[in-house]
Amino acid sequence: MKGKTLLAMTLLSAMGLSSAAWSATLLKAPRSVTWRDFLGVNVQFHYFEPQAYQKQMTRLDALGLGWIRWTLHWPILEPAQGQYNLAALDAAMQTASAHHYDTVAYLVGSAAFDSTAPQGASNTDQYPPRDNSIFAQRMTALAQRYPQVSHWQVWNEPNIIWLPQADPVAYYKLLTTTADAIRSALPGKPIVTAGVAYYGQMRGSTGYMLQSMVDQGLASKDIVAAYHPYSEYPEGDSIPDRDFLVRANAMNKSLHDAGVKQVWATEWGWSSYSGPVEMQRIIGVNGQADYTLRRLALMSALDYQRIFLFNLSDLDERASPRDRGYGLVDLNGEPKPVYTALQNFLKVTGPSLQPADPPPASSVPDDLYAIAWNRPDGSHLLMAWSASGAQMRFPGIKSATLYDPLTGNRRELTGAQGVDVALTPTLQILVWNP
């Protein structure tokens, strides 16, 4: 408990808050944010028919976002040694090229002929490769075949997927072998670590995979560090403890202090699935929209260089019931509430924001979350929510507009003594001019 308290105090200090202010969470971003460069989405275009992924691309373009993270599964692309299944991927890559996306692609899974799986194992792809050089050769060939992919990411979530257990030393060897092979063929090509699940915890171990990579020399390799901060709620697994903020801030600071230049969250999000319950409670399509906006507001104010929402589209029956429901759009390419809410959010904020101090306020509730920004046009913006639904007064603001991106509604607020804002458990955005 003392360790958690100390970490919380460290976070407050980094935010410029005193311990007395811990009851309310007021964040100030470390830098400006441009959504097109900061926020990306995960995609699996080649898993769909051309008409379907073309529609997905149209939906993505309408959001004004520019980064995608593309899933590539080695056993699917090479079902037998030397036999390649690339036609669908070639077609999808060619179509995506016309949209000029910035792309990170990751290769995951061991092909059956290069798996360390024991005889008779049914999930051979979850075992690490037997020969790292073969995996590295295949990734290098893909990097040469698809030059439009700007970054290559080595594997996905090996801290929870690798069987029979996670092995940070073996993974680091795979990472560096692959990075060296790609850069030998394509000098300077950016490489990304596997996005480790959560914060890099490993089953059966008290260690953390990213920390092990740092200890083995990650910072000297000029490789982006990536992890997947999934949690039960936007604020963390425990809302009162704000554990997402505490853990993400500590993780990012630790990595940057060690010399890692870029830290990405290459997956995060919530499923709108209807069950059976699997690791995430049922929140439905409206809960998905609510949680996504609250987490996006928080992540924009932390020291990430880039984040990728999972997922652009819902997936079909090849995925688990939970994994089918993470999309911004459904299987027909139609917007879900989370898509509309995100589109509303981006319209209100505009394409970029600069960090700002929050305006003076009275009656600040203990459970307030707030992030202040300035827009390039000189207007001010405050993202805020509170589970208690308290009312706050901003005495220095005489006129403002209050937006609800979940519904698309807006209200004009005026007051000679300042505007009054009725907070809600969901994100609202207050916009005013000086």
CA distance 392 to 367: 12
CA distance 418 to 428: 18
Tokens representing residue 282 in the block:
């049922």
Final residue before a domain boundary, out of 322, 352, 382: 352
Q: Are residues 208 and 257 in the same domain?
A: yes
Low-confidence ranges of the chain (pLDDT < 70): 1-23
Alpha-carbon separation of residue 171 from 77, 157, 162, 204, 257 (angstroms): 21, 11, 9, 16, 23
Final residue before a domain boundary, out of 352, 370, 388: 352
Sign of the C-alpha dihedral computed for residues 141, 146, 151 and 155 taken in this order: negative
Q: What is the pLDDT of residue 32?
A: 98
Q: Are residues 345 and 400 in the same domain?
A: no
Final residue before a domain boundary, out of 320, 352, 384: 352
Q: Report the amino acid identity of residue 103.
A: T
Helix (H, G, I), strand (E, B) or coil at 148: coil
Q: Is 404 exposed, middle or buried (0-12, 13-18, 19+ CB in 10 A)?
A: middle
For the chain, the farthest-separated pair of C-alpha atoms sits apart, in whole angstroms, at 77
CATH of residue 274's domain is 3.20.20.80
- Chain centroid to CA 315: how far? 18
Q: Are residues 94 and 203 in the same domain?
A: yes
> Does residue 12 sit within a domain?
no
> Does residue 6 sit within a domain?
no
Q: What is the pLDDT of residue 363?
A: 86
Q: Are residues 231 and 332 in the same domain?
A: yes
Q: What is the pLDDT of residue 400?
A: 98
Tokens representing residue 116 in the block:
């360390």
Q: What is the pLDDT of residue 22?
A: 38
Prediction pTM value: 0.94
- Do residues 21 and 366 lie in contact, with contact meaning Cβ atoms separated by under 8 Å? no
Tokens representing residue 291 in the block:
């949680």
Residues 6+ apart with CB under 8 A from 29: 300, 301, 302, 353, 355, 371, 373
> Does residue 374 sit within a domain?
yes
Q: Are residues 243 and 382 in the same domain?
A: no
- Do residues 380 and 372 lie in contact, with contact meaning Cβ atoms separated by under 8 Å? yes
344: DSSP letter: H
> Does residue 21 sit within a domain?
no
Q: What is the pLDDT of residue 18?
A: 35
Residues of the domain holding 402: 353-432
CA distance 89 to 104: 15
CA distance 244 to 226: 16
Q: What is the pLDDT of residue 203?
A: 87
> DSSP of 220-234, one letter per residue?
GGT-BEEEE---SBT
> Does residue 397 sit within a domain?
yes
- Do residues 42 and 60 lie in contact, with contact meaning Cβ atoms separated by under 8 Å? no
Give the total number of structural domains in the chain. Answer: 2
Q: What is the pLDDT of residue 23?
A: 64
Q: What is the pLDDT of residue 6?
A: 30
> Does residue 183 sit within a domain?
yes
Q: Are residues 234 and 366 in the same domain?
A: no
